[in-house]
Amino acid sequence: MGSRRPAGVGPGGIKNTEVLELMKILFVGESWVVHMIHTKGYDSFTSTKYEEGATYLLSCLRQEGIDVTYMPAHEVQVRFPQSLEELKTYDAIVLSDVGANTFLLQNPTFYQMQIIPNALELVKQYVAEGGGLLMVGGYLTFMGIEGKANYRNTILADVLPVVMMDKDDRVEMPSGFSPVVSQPHPLVNDLGEWPRLLGYNKLSAKPGAEELLSHEGDAILTVGTYGQGKTAAFASDCSPHWGSLEFMNWEHYSAFWSKLIKYLK
């Protein structure tokens, strides 16, 4: 797993004598298409735009020396690895704001009734054999809005270090909340007071997992293991709207995410 930077070439062309092992991740989700209806008196017309929510985060991760392959949600149908061997080219997988149906109802199955590998089963096996997995909260992760993300009812419920609700699990916090440290851990030490976030998915840590951040009894950051692999669940979002501008502009934003992802290796 991972990729290598040639000896003698460091970030920015700085010479060194070591061969550095770069962490390689597959980041899936954080994209959407917006369809709008514009009505002006008697007449109306439609427009469509495509947006991505993780551009800033991915830039931060790359600057921290992480080799990121980004897969927007709509590309899962044609690009998500179809074998364990393909998945193992990555040190960790990040799922953010992309629901279970995107993986389970791929085009060959939904339109052509073909039997194909279960993508989430591959992820489960990948983690069991040493891969890392992070799920980031949002309207279409964990259970999500109206329960549509639906991960509680998939095999990833066994893999993640948290217990999910069996319904819409969103907790909207328009006045903001600041997670508090539940226990000392290198991932959350020395960060000071957290910036305010605007919501989260309601989760609880599984027995044996480590709850590192919390809010009023709900787990905000939890880490654990499954088989030989490491897992993590961040209940709020990495970007708007739950990821507030205060969070995005936080001095520790880049360091927090890079440390969390590197922890999974």
Mean of pLDDT over the chain: 93
Would 77 be classed as within a structural domain?
yes
The confidence score (pLDDT) of residue 108 equals 87
Pairing of strands 210-215, 180-181: antiparallel
Residue 49's CB: how many other CB atoms inside 10 A? 9
What percent of the chain stands above pLDDT 70?
A: 92
Q: What integer is the mean pLDDT of 91-98?
A: 98
Tally of domains in the chain: 1
List pLDDT tens digits, range 22-50.
899 999 999 999 999 999 999 999 999 99
Would 75 be classed as within a structural domain?
yes
Q: What integer is the mean pLDDT of 141-161?
A: 98
Would 6 be classed as within a structural domain?
no
- The CATH number of the domain holding residue 33 is 3.40.50.880
The answer, yes or no, to whether residue 6 has pLDDT greater than 50, is no
Pairing of strands 132-136, 229-234: parallel
Would 128 be classed as within a structural domain?
yes
Confirm if 160 and 123 have CB atoms less than 8 A apart.
Answer: no
Number of H helices, E strands in the chain: 9, 15
List pLDDT tens digits, range 217-248.
999 999 999 999 999 999 999 999 999 999 99
The confidence score (pLDDT) of residue 21 equals 73
Q: What is the pTM of this model?
A: 0.90
* Whole-Å CA distances, 230 to 19, 29, 87, 264: 25, 20, 15, 5
List pLDDT tens digits, range 175-234.
999 999 999 999 999 999 999 999 999 999 999 999 999 999 999 999 999 999 999 999
Would 243 be classed as within a structural domain?
yes
What SS3 class is residue 223?
strand
Q: How many residues does the chain have?
A: 265
Domain that holds residue 180: 21-263
Would 118 be classed as within a structural domain?
yes
List pLDDT tens digits, range 58-72.
999 999 999 999 999
Give residue 45's Cα distance to chain centre: 35
The confidence score (pLDDT) of residue 37 equals 97
Would 158 be classed as within a structural domain?
yes
Q: What is the DSSP letter of 238?
A: S
Would 8 be classed as within a structural domain?
no
Per-residue confidence at 254, pLDDT binned at 50, 70, 90? very high
